[in-house]
């Protein structure tokens, strides 16, 4: 009886986790400009646009240079750090991607969906480094944030 109850709880928990995971965004999908458009009219916005164009043409190192210059102008931009983290994952540099995503998280606005996307990005970076335990912890953080919505 107890074993049956435990199995039922485990099955329920795994179904809930699967449902939460299906709502998570792809950590490598560009998020686009946030609603509040933190770069509007700045030189950093122009650099971001150049980075997007370079990324679309698969010129990843050029895109990285544009984003780094934009961050020099807007060092408190969580969103730019996230963009750079995504790019570093595409360049197969998960260690730098994790560092950039963690910086983005420290500067992130109090929006659970955005913070969850950052935790998912951290989870992907950790998994690509072979840190499955760290990736699992990051996924759990993302799932907890998604439940707050």
Residue 4's pLDDT is 53
Fold classification of 38-147 (topology level)? 1.25.40
pLDDT number for residue 121:
97
Q: What is the pLDDT of residue 35?
A: 57
pLDDT of 149: 72
Give pLDDT tens digits along the chain (149 positions). 545 544 434 444 443 444 444 334 444 444 555 556 677 778 999 999 999 999 999 999 999 999 999 999 999 999 999 999 999 999 999 999 999 999 999 999 888 999 999 999 999 999 999 999 999 999 999 999 999 87
Place of tokens 């099955």: 11
Helix, coil or strand: residue 84: helix
pLDDT at 36: 62
pLDDT at 41: 79
Kindly state the DSSP code that residue 33 receives in the 8-state scheme.
S
- DSSP codes, 37-69: -TTTTSHHHHHHHHHHHHHHTT-HHHHHHHHHH
Which among 121, 14, 128 has a CA at the least distance from the CA of 142?
121
Asked whether the CA dihedral 137, 139, 145, 147 is positive or negative, the reply is: negative
């Amino acid at each position: 009886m107890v074993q049956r109850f435990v199995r039922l709880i485990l099955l329920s928990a795994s179904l809930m986790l699967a449902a939460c995971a299906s709502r998570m965004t792809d950590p490598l999908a560009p998020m686009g400009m946030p609603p509040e458009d933190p770069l509007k009219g700045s030189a950093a916005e122009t650099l971001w646009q150049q980075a997007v164009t370079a990324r679309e043409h698969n010129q990843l190192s050029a895109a990285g240079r544009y984003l780094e210059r934009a961050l020099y102008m807007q060092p408190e931009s969580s969103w730019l750090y996230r963009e750079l983290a995504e790019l570093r994952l595409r360049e197969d540099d998960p260690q730098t991607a994790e560092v950039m995503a963690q910086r983005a998280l420290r500067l992130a606005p109090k929006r659970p969906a955005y913070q969850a996307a950052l935790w998912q990005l951290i989870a992907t970076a950790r998994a690509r480094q072979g840190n499955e335990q760290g990736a699992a912890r990051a996924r759990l953080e993302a799932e907890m944030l998604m439940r707050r919505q």
